[in-house]
Amino acid sequence: MVAVVAGVAIGLVGGAFRWCLQVADRWRYELLTWAHHAPGPAWLIPVAVTAFGAAAAAAIVSRIPLATGSGIPHVEAVARGESTPPGLLVVPARFVGGLLAIGSGLVLGREGPTVHMGAALGTATGRAAHLADPDVRLSQSAVAGAGLAVAFNAPVGGALFVFEELTGRFRARTMIPTLLAVATAVACSRLILGNRPDFDVDAQSSPAIGWLAVFVVFGLVTGLLGIAYNSLVTGFLEIAARVRRVPPVAVAAIVGGIIGILLVVDPLSAGGGDTLSQTAVGGGALALPAVVGFLLVRFVAGPLSYAAGTPGGLFAPLLAVGALWGLLFAGAVDALVPGAHDLRVPLALVGMAAFFGATVRAPLTGIVLVVEMTATAELTVQMAAATAAAVLVAELAGAAPIYDSLRGRDSVRRPGESG
């Protein structure tokens, strides 16, 4: 019953959060369109809006420090008994702060706030039911997975996230409340958002088995790319932490201004990345030079946005980078091997899963998330091969998964430190 009640709560709250972000995205594009056609330095207005949104989100974090960043590292710390569960203040802080940061155009994902809001609602419901502390932790983990499921309309992926990433084990005592929370949450969120996969992808046929070696090589190189991306995330966080004389709100405003300039140059350069991912996996006409440009910009803009310290996650931007990387690799293969043009969409889809696996080190979750978000299951063999290769490279290199690195940082506070 605790799982069901908390699942209803995160389904409605997470669904409302996603709906608000969709409205904010439309407003942002309308503002950018107006700025491009308005006389004078009208382009400064979108830049100022993004800077203000980032600064306002950082101001919320200054009052509720636990609202910073993704929130997933804290949920993992609670699941491992390293921290105490989040309080209910996290919910409004994450909702409003995430809406300001992500809605204004920072390259951040919606899943971080929804996972952390789910954890807080699971905790509050468990405490209201007078559960023992271990069961409260279980409740927060189960409903956190429901939050991820709502973020991507991916119920099985949300459940796998709990088993593979949060708890690290499959047990009936964990599975039953998780599945109940996930099913209830996604059902409620669909009342608000509708029941469609996140991305529209044409029916795919599995490439010939002879191409499997290409996907394995792609996965091996993707593992190196994932290591570099994680290093950028932690590196930008280190730089932001060392700038002690500049208030965090000012740092966020500076980052927001930089991202705002990118938005003015091209709206696809920043933001969560769903539109760009849809273009890539939907077979849209993206010229190879544009793919290279977007990939380079977003590869840096995502870690830079995360360093602003505002509420927002890493998953959605990761998927966009993976899809672009798949298109780029397909272009390279096409230049060397005739007939490889048909691999553009398959490599974009596989790139999403493989890059997720290389950075987060949760391969099953990444594969299932992509399958559910695209309603495409024909490429599971290629996804498995490429993702396994990417994870193998990252493991052999001794690179830590991104949330292991983030969990030990000072930015992850205990609720008692948040006021």
pLDDT number for residue 173:
81
pLDDT number for residue 81:
85
Residue 163 and residue 170 in contact, taking contact as beta carbons nearer than 8 Å: yes
In one letter, which amino acid is 88?
Answer: L
pLDDT number for residue 245:
83
The DSSP secondary-structure symbol of 311 reads B
Q: H helices then E strands: how many in the chain?
A: 17, 0
DSSP, collapsed to helix, strand or coil, labels residue 69 as strand
Residue 136 and residue 333 in contact, taking contact as beta carbons nearer than 8 Å: no
Sign of the C-alpha dihedral, residues 178, 181, 185, 186? Answer: positive
Give the integer Cα–Cα distance in Å for 167 and 175.
Answer: 11
In one letter, which amino acid is 216?
Answer: V
Which tokens go with 139?
């409740």
The DSSP secondary-structure symbol of 2 reads H
Among 45, 68, 72, which residue's Cα sits nearest to residue 57? 68
pLDDT number for residue 341:
64
Q: DSSP readout, 343-404? A: GHHHHHHHHHHHHHHHHH--HHHHHHHHHHHHT--TTHHHHHHHHHHHHHHHHHTTPPPHHH
In one letter, which amino acid is 23?
Answer: V
Give the integer Cα–Cα distance in Å for 100 and 53.
Answer: 5
pLDDT number for residue 172:
79
Which tokens go with 87?
């309080």
DSSP, collapsed to helix, strand or coil, labels residue 109 as strand
Give the integer Cα–Cα distance in Å for 369 and 316.
Answer: 11
pLDDT number for residue 390:
97
- The CA distances from residue 279 to 74, 160, 200, 333, 371, in Å, are 33, 27, 9, 20, 17
pLDDT number for residue 244:
77
Among 57, 67, 12, which residue's Cα sits nearest to residue 411? 67
Q: C-alpha angle 167/173/178, rounded to 5°?
A: 65
Residue 353 and residue 391 in contact, taking contact as beta carbons nearer than 8 Å: no
Residue 266 — φ and ψ, nearest 5°? Answer: -160, 120
Give the integer Cα–Cα distance in Å for 183 and 4.
Answer: 9
Q: DSSP readout, 255-278? A: HHHHHHHHHHH-GGGSSSSHHHHH
Which tokens go with 48?
């100022």
Q: Residue 109's beta-bridge partner residues? A: 313
pLDDT number for residue 340:
65
Residue 191 and residue 18 in contact, taking contact as beta carbons nearer than 8 Å: no
What is the mean pLDDT, run by run of 10 residues, along the chain of 419 residues? 93 97 94 89 93 96 92 90 90 96 95 95 94 91 95 94 84 88 96 91 85 95 96 93 87 96 93 91 85 95 95 93 95 80 89 96 94 93 96 94 81 39
Give the integer Cα–Cα distance in Å for 351 and 327.
Answer: 8
